[in-house]
Amino acid sequence: MNCEDYWNDLTGPEPEVDFEAHLAACPACTARYAAGRPVAANLRLLAADMKRVTAPPRVEARLLRAYRERYGQPVPPARELHRWWAAAAAVLLAAGALWTGARSPERPRVASNSPVAIAAVDEQDAAFVPLPNAAGSPQDDDVDLVRVELPRSAVTALGIPATDDSDSASVEAEVLVGPDGMARAVRFLN
């Protein structure tokens, strides 16, 4: 038996037990094992950095469409319907202000060409944008997420250009609606 067999998990029916026993008796493998420890600590930094990376919202929108095609469109209860319209109206009113008054600052510079690093920066764009009329609203956790679909013509009329990558007649947005029925924040999905 040599050291590589232990590292390659070729030591028999109880490789973990054998590996631990070997480490206790082999200074060279103990040193090799120890070399990985600071790496494990550093990997926690990378893990923390990656935590904000998630799939783009359009994936959820596509899956939801597929789910509804399979299982049928749910009928929203009256209360939800009321909020849907409230949210849609709030989006229409706020969208123009968002575009003209709350233009996002210059995109952060990406230090790396790695798609992983670029994805981490891109995900910041998927965050909810607070609506101007929600500035004085109380911060509460009891908010509903309402998905709305707006005619593209209504959005473009407010000064938001249609994107090149979409040929649909509407745009989807998600709106956070507070318990008072007022929209707090919005994000556009496409």
Partner 1 sequence: MKPPESDHQLFERLRAGQEQAFLALYQKRQPALYRFALQMSGSASVAEDITQDVFMALVRDECGYDPSRGSLAAYLFGIARKLLLRQYERRRSDVPVDTGGGEAGFAELVDDADPLADLTTRERVEALRRAVASLPRRYREVVVLCDLEEVDYAEAAVALGCPIGTVRSRLHRARSMLAVKLRDERHGGASVPAWKAARCAI
Q: Per rule CB under 8 A, is residue 70 in the interface with partner 1?
A: yes
Residue among 7, 130, 158, 187 that touches partner 1 (CB under 8 A)? 7
Q: Per rule CB under 8 A, is residue 42 in the interface with partner 1?
A: yes
Write the CA distances from 109 to 46, 104, 118, integer angstroms: 19, 14, 10
Token couple for 9: 């998990």
Residue among 79, 100, 114, 166 that touches partner 1 (CB under 8 A)? 114
Q: Per rule CB under 8 A, is residue 144 in the interface with partner 1?
A: no
Exposed, middle or buried: residue 123 (CB in 10 Å: 0-12, 13-18, 19+)?
middle
Ordered strands of the 144-151 beta sheet: 129-130, 183-188, 170-177, 144-151
**Quick one: how far is CA 76 from the chain centroid?**
25
Residue among 92, 93, 97, 117 that touches partner 1 (CB under 8 A)? 117
Q: Per rule CB under 8 A, is residue 143 in the interface with partner 1?
A: no
Question: Which residues of the chain form contacts with partner 1 (CB under 8 A)?
Answer: 1-4, 6-9, 14-16, 19, 22, 25-26, 28-29, 31-47, 49-51, 53-56, 59-60, 62-64, 66-68, 70-72, 74, 111-112, 114-119, 122
